[in-house]
Amino acid sequence: MNKALRTLGGLRTRVIDALPAGTAPKLAVILCHGFGAPGDDLAGLGPEMLEFSPKLAAGARLYFPEAPLALDWGGRAWWMIDIEAIQLALMRGEFRQRLRDERPEGMQQARDAVLNLVKDVSAETGLPVSRIALGGFSQGSFVTVDVATQLEETPAGLIVWSGTLMNEPEWRRLGPRHKGLRVVQSHGRQDPMLPFEWAEHLREFMTEVGWQVEWLPFNGPHTISPEGLMAAVRMLEGQLEG
């Protein structure tokens, strides 16, 4: 297993593959962690995915960027979130539409950073955007859905673990140009942070703009389910076969 810590697109990024020295990948995968997690939070999935799938091990390189903002307790964020304000608004039933319409302060900067990461990954691998898949967990999925809508070329796939719909006016305007984009989406029915119905709104939006969504609800909290992980692996394998 090859592991390196690099700076790509201005972000500290863990790069993992099982390719022989000098072998270029046929597929690149960028996975972004959630709000408050350490920068290496999802990187442990890299060896797990490559060991489970000989196809991925033979053809893919995985990238795990650290979000740009450092939090007081040591975690990181793509943009700042006031958790207490969100919880209060949830209790009052005031929050749903506001989040759905909102492009929060800091989202543009996070988008630009990940777009620059995509450019650097494309440059170093020689792969077009159509051979680069994006995804993430929670806030990391928000930023990668946002980035996917901005790209001129349709990415190889999109992985949405515990995501929600936001920045809807812009996403709805740009989303249709990526008709046919393959998406794996999973969400826990008992998620206390991002209610299950919010994920359903996201699924409906992605379907309406023409994206091909594999929807994987599960009984559980705010986490990545084994089924969601394996579905992502299958989708990536399919891109390699294609």
Instruction: Please give the pLDDT value at position 218.
Output: 98
Mean pLDDT of 195-210: 95
| 175-189 average pLDDT score | 97
Per cent of the chain over pLDDT 70 is: 93
* Section 21-50 average pLDDT: 96
Does the pLDDT of residue 68 top 90, yes or no?
A: yes
Within a 13 Å sphere around the CA of 196, how many CA atoms are in the beta-carbon half? 12
Regarding predicted confidence, which is higher, 214 or 22? 214
CATH of 2-241, one of 3.30.565.10, 3.40.50.2300, 3.40.50.1820, 3.30.930.10: 3.40.50.1820
Which H helix or E strand runs over 6? strand 2-8
The structure's pTM equals 0.94
Joined together, the tokens standing for residue 112 give 């630009």
pLDDT, tens digit, 9 for 90 and up, residues 123-142? 999 999 999 999 999 999 99
Predicted pLDDT at 104? 82
Least confident residue range of 105-109, 169-173, 201-205: 105-109
Distance, CA of 187 to CA of 185 (rounded, Å) = 7
Cα separation of 202 and 160, whole Å?
Answer: 10
Rounded to 5 degrees, what are φ and ψ at 125?
Answer: -95, -20
